[in-house]
Amino acid sequence: MSVLHQIEFGTQVHLRDLPTRADSFHDDRKQAEQETATLKEQMRLLQRRLYAESKQQLLVVLQARDAGGKDGTIRKVFGGINPQGVTVHSFKVPSPEELAHDFLWRIHRKVPAKGMIGIFNRSHYEDILVVRVRKLAPEKVWRPRFEHINNFERNLVDSGTRILKFFLHISPEEQKERFRDRLEDPEKFWKFSPDDLAKRKLWGDYSDAFEEMMERCSTPYAPWYAIPADQKWYRNLVVTRTILATLQEMNPQFPDPGFNPGDYQLD
């Protein structure tokens, strides 16, 4: 990988060989959390510029297994960002209206406008993940969607959208601990569903689907990042670093006001 945790275009992906822990990359939680806080301050300024400039936009896609940490990533990475400039959309079971259209219809309606950061908590990739594993559609329906998704994302990029896609990679042991935590804490009961255990039994099938998702759809213009996510502090650091680096490349600027402020005096 040329960039830390980025899936290079055209490479085979084997999740069993990709790390879920920070051990090989960072060993100081306190230092990592301090760095994350510093990076978030820089990200806030760039987000203000992006919103004011209103010429380009950023789409952040989060995919993970159940209990993978999508909600926590949004809270920890984007907490404190101007809410006027950020949208969050969660794509669950399609409604009857959505099912009456092509699978990308509901997605396209939620892509960020100019000046905005859009966050997808699950995304168009559900239609080649859940649909495949749970056999909700035949292969002849979902397999062409890899190409449709790549073309869709190419169109977004050509229209001024930068795309970052994060797969939050956790181990089966970590998922088990997070499920246990949800079952033991009354304030987290709502986060658990009996269906989570049914999906857990399909771990291998979901692994196959995630692997092909990243192999086929980690493109130079819309890369996938497989983030070691067993330790939340490291997950937050890497996601924040990557988003900040992308905003720095986008280099948004406050717009010219169109007048000379020095010409105006307030009594």
What CATH number does residue 177 fall under?
Answer: 3.40.50.300
Task: Report if residue 85 sits inside a domain.
Answer: yes
Read off the pTM. Answer: 0.95
Mean pLDDT of 146-157: 98
Q: In terms of residue numbers, what domain contains 119?
A: 15-250
Does the pLDDT value for residue 126 go beyond 60? Answer: yes
Task: Report if residue 7 sits inside a domain.
Answer: no
Residue 44 CB-density burial (10 A; 0-12 exposed, 13-18 middle, 19+ buried): middle
What is residue 222's DSSP assignment? Answer: B
How far apart CA 236 and CA 200 sit, in angstroms, is 24
Does the pLDDT value for residue 183 go beyond 70? Answer: yes
Task: Report if residue 258 sits inside a domain.
Answer: no
Task: Report if residue 238 sits inside a domain.
Answer: yes
pLDDT tens per residue across span 186-214: 999 998 988 889 899 999 999 999 999 99
Percentage with pLDDT > 70 across the chain: 99
- Residue of higher predicted confidence among 266 and 267: 266
Task: Report if residue 152 sits inside a domain.
Answer: yes
Q: What is the pLDDT of residue 254?
A: 95
Sign of CA dihedral 186, 188, 190, 192: negative
pLDDT tens per residue across span 71-102: 999 999 999 999 999 999 999 899 999 999 99
- Counting the structural domains of the chain, the total is 1
Task: Report if residue 180 sits inside a domain.
Answer: yes
How far apart CA 235 and CA 55 sit, in angstroms, is 29
Task: Report if residue 108 sits inside a domain.
Answer: yes
Q: Is residue 146 a contact partner of residue 128, using CB atoms and an 8 Å limit?
A: yes
Q: Is residue 165 a contact partner of residue 64, using CB atoms and an 8 Å limit?
A: no
pLDDT tens per residue across span 234-245: 999 999 999 999
Task: Report if residue 24 sits inside a domain.
Answer: yes
